[in-house]
Amino acid sequence: MLQKLRAQSNRWYIKALFVILVLSFCMWGIADIFFNYINMRPVATVDGRNISQEEFASRLQTMVNRAQEASKGQLKPEQIREMGIPQKILDSLIDQSLIATELKERRLIVSDAAVRNRIQKIPAFSNEQGQFDKRAFDYLLQNNHISEAQFIADVRGELQQQQLFGALISGLRLPKAYIDLLFQGFFEQRVFAVVTVPFQKMVVKETPKESDLQKFYKQHQEQFRLPEMRKITLLEVDPKLFESRVVVPLDKLQGEYERRKAEFEIAEKREIKQINAANENTAKKAVESLKKGRPMPAVARDVSADFKDLGLVTKQQLPDLVADRLFEAELGQVIGPVSTPFGFQIFLVSKIEPSFTKSFLEIRTQLESELKLQMANDQIYELKNKIEDALAGGATLAEIAKEHQLKIHSIDDVSKSGKDLNDKFILPEAGKADILDQAFSLPEGADSAVIETKEGASYVVHVDSVKASHVPPFAEIQDKVAKAWMQDQRFQLSAIVAEQLAKDARSVSELSRLALSRKLSIKMLDPLSRVDSEKDEKIHKQFTPNLITQMFELTFGKTALGVTPDRMNGGVQVVMLQKILPFNQKSLKDKRDQMEKKLAELAFQDASALYIKSLRNDAKISINQAVFNAMASRG
């Protein structure tokens, strides 16, 4: 057989057959191998250690979930990429790989006990008694989409990095004089004098000619540009309307009550009082006094221990260490002393509220409301399907609204900001962002699918017409141009007056005198520091950020000029430094200590970043751009 094949191998049809077989193999077999090979390739390699697609995808998904929760699900995949989240994840994984290698080479080890101690000291995981609460730990990890193993690994890594970087920068300290000077610059308070030259007080004597207005119109055309406007029709499915139509039969309410009876059981509560003693001997003395009938607060004072009234609590609110004992105890019984990480604790049960189940009459209104909502939602779900079918069949929103007794809204002109030509918001607040997204992504004459809002309402958007962004002809907006021209003239006059005041004034008293001569008032601001100016919203309503910066650069006798944030009803401001208040650093010791700590943290971060940069420079890092791009686009 082989000999026959060899004999025929030079024939043209045999060669053609082999070509077909090779092509077939390439199309099917090799394609599968190549596809699997792509899926197996790492996102990056750091000194021979691979960063797998699974590792990258897991971290990316966690960050995307957090970002979506923060934005209430408003982020789109392209926005996530624009924020640079995929690149930040990759950079973080590369840095972690470099640090892991460095830790291994330097043989830095963190014990399980150290990790456990670090986790148990995190305040977010503590209960009201300051003790580690495993339920809070599990809840917070679940809410942040982090597994317990991953969190423990992260804490271990953090402690290892503290060892590594802490040793490197243990001698790094900012000079005390530098910190004091910086602290004074932030917290030193200054008093400023402000004169505002209002636009509205300026008298424009000149009456503009039409030629003046046309010239102004040509020079400031973008000022009069109208945004793209769309006329839309909204079909609304209001859940409240359906709830009002629903009637829940009595037998269904009673059946629901029986089915969910366990939900309406109110757990037993106990009023617990507690003494926390420093040692066992003190605790035993306290127990003896309590058994003799002495009030717990008095006993705590007698033995110099801490007293705390925990109030009425359920069993689930107490630490596992004592929960069972306290809920098995009799009224007035003293429990303890109990050895805890926070000392020796003694408990007293001072009141018991037994568990009970709410009656049908007590819970009927709640059940009726819940069942109405459930039944209404079922009807709405069916209705949405009918609407989708009707739209696919070519029905208009008016026809659908009439058939199902739904509300319909006609909106003549709306911009992408949700405002009309008079700069007023005109869309329903519920689902405004989703409505605008559909209204400005659909072509003229198109219908959206049924969009659901987080508030419960649903809409179908129909785009009736589209008006492109444009500058209206002068004849159409001549009145608006005249108003703008007048406002510009007033602005210029205000600026002239303000500049003259700034030029002539050499002191606050002189500025005050000059202002009064022009029938303008001068205002003294309350003492203000740089820190205050960043946090105080009132200041930002009165002054622009640029003027605030200039104010803190002023020396005595100098002025700063600015325009109020309100460009229509405000004016041009002249600011002078009146005085600098004596600085008492001792009265701000806590804030000074916080700042020193923050500066130390920033120094630590900077030094760590420089160290990691040096590790990057010495490492062999290879990024598979094709794999990274593919995974980033999926994220």
pLDDT in tens, 483-541: 999 999 999 999 999 999 999 999 999 999 999 999 999 999 999 999 888 888 889 99
Residue 378 has which token pair?
A: 């079922």
**Coil, strand or helix: which one is 299?**
helix
In terms of Cα–Cα distance, which of 283, 144, 78, 196 is closest to 519? 196
Whole-number pLDDT of residue 112: 80
> Tokens 């018991």 map to which residue?
352
SS3 call for 603? helix
Q: What is the pLDDT of residue 40?
A: 65
Predicted pLDDT at 269: 94
Q: How far apart are CA 420 and CA 597, in angstroms?
A: 51
Cβ–Cβ < 8 Å for 69, 58: no
Are 435 and 428 within 8 A, CB to CB?
Answer: yes
pLDDT at 31 over 70: no
pTM of the model: 0.54
pLDDT for the residue 341: 65
Q: What is the pLDDT of residues 610-632, one digit of tens each?
A: 888 888 898 899 888 888 888 87
> Are the C-beta atoms of 575 and 559 separated by less than 8 Å?
yes
Cα 302 to Cα 52: distance, rounded to the nearest angstrom? 64
pLDDT of residue 258: 92
Whether 450 contacts 459, CB under 8 Å: yes
The predicted-structure confidence for 438-453, as pLDDT tens digits, reads as follows: 999 999 999 999 998 8
- Lookup: tokens for 172: 């790094």
